[in-house]
Amino acid sequence: MEKIVLLTGAGISAESGLGTFRDEGGLWAQHRIEDVATPEGFARDPSLVHRFYNARRVQAAQAAPNAAHHALARLEAACAGEVLIVTQNVDGLHEAAGSRNVLHMHGTLAGALCGACDHRWPAPMEMSPQDCCPKCTTPATRPDVVWFGEMPYHMDEIWTHLEEADIFVAIGTSGQVYPAAAFGQHAGRAGAHTIELNLEASVNVHDFTDMRQGLASVIVPAWVDEVLRR
Ligand code: APR
């Protein structure tokens, strides 16, 4: 049975109105990574970090999946083999489009995490440093997102999926953040056919056997049609 593993990044949600990180005017041009996306930044100013993620949670809740998310859900539903999405995105747009086999390696805006006891629960739309963990009652509530300097989720499982993949596709990711940036090379060495679908070539485009350039809403549905026609 054919196995398709897809890695998605901020580019797949750009046409849903969610800003990417490193494109011109992107999130990292407006905010300092060390202030809002590191454990040290959270320890220094938890209110600032909560405000940043509260705003992103509201934006994500108002966004709708675009043709690229819908095409991947269609692929999962119609493909005879296995389709797995590994996403770096913390929005819920893959699930909103109907994808079910999704691993959130950088966590999710929909989740809250207790920094004291690791308990997880559904995040309210607005979080604050005064919020207490429903389990241990410590006011150490944080968004369940992976910050720089922290280990992404599901990594053992993800490396194994990459080794089992017949096709590996990276969509809308700049290839600047590890370990996701190494997935193309890892899957390719293990024998997968590797494809990049992106607006601009990523820094590791040479790790891929095939590259298609364009808007995700155009090139992802076109690629899915091709796979389903075979
Ligand atoms: N269609 C396809 N690709 C697009 C589109 C679009 N409409 N718009 C932008 N892109 C591409 C850009 O060319 C770029 O390659 O999406 C990519 C976005 O790159 P980044 O902003 O670096 O986002 P990403 O790769 O997902 O970032 C990885 O960095 O800070 C962290 O944790 C954060 O998960 C994130 C990680």
Residues 36, 69 within the same domain = no
The boundaries of the domain holding residue 51 are: 19-62+108-145
Residue that terminates a domain, selected from 120, 145, 170: 145
Instruction: Give 118 Cα–ligand 1 centroid separation in angstroms.
Output: 29
Distance 29 CA to ligand 1 centre (A): 13
Q: What is the mean pLDDT of residues 195-211?
A: 97
At residue 40, the pLDDT reads: 98
3-state secondary structure of 208: coil
- What is the predicted pLDDT for the residue at 207? 97
Same domain, yes or no, for 73 and 139? no
Asked if 29 and 96 sit in the same domain, the reply is no
Residues 189 and 223 in one domain: yes
Average pLDDT, the chain: 97
pLDDT of residue 96: 98
pLDDT band at residue 75 under the 50/70/90 scheme: very high
pLDDT at residue 62 in the model: 97
Atom 29, ligand 1: which residue's CA is nearest? 177
Please report, in angstroms and rounded to a whole number, the separation of the first and last CA atoms in the chain. 14
- Read off the pLDDT of residues 103-144 as tens digits, 9 standing for 90 and up: 999 999 999 999 999 999 999 999 999 999 999 999 999 999
Q: 162 and 185 in contact (C-beta within 8 Å)?
A: no
CATH number at residue 126: 3.30.1600.10
Q: 19 CA to middle of ligand 1, Å?
A: 9
Same domain membership, residue 226 and residue 137: no
Cβ contacts of 27 within 8 Å, gap of 6 or more: 19, 20, 21
Domain identity same for 184 and 213 = yes
Q: Classify residue 125 by its DSSP letter.
A: S
Q: Which of 12, 73, 75, 101 is nearest to 229 (CA)?
A: 75
Q: What is the reported pTM?
A: 0.98
**Ligand 1 pocket: which of 7, 8, 18, 20 to mutate (most atoms <8 Å of CB)?**
20
pLDDT in tens, 148-187: 999 999 999 999 999 999 999 999 999 999 999 999 999 9
- CATH code (residue 102): 3.40.50.1220
Alpha-carbon torsion, ordered 198, 202, 204, 210, to 10 deg: 30
CB atoms under 10 Å from CB of 67, counted, come to 17
- Asked if residue 114 and residue 210 are part of one domain, the reply reads no
**Confidence band for 30, pLDDT divided at 50, 70 and 90:** very high
Report the atom number in ligand 1 closest to the C-alpha of 145.
Answer: 32
Q: How many domains would you assign to the chain?
A: 2
pLDDT of residue 20: 97
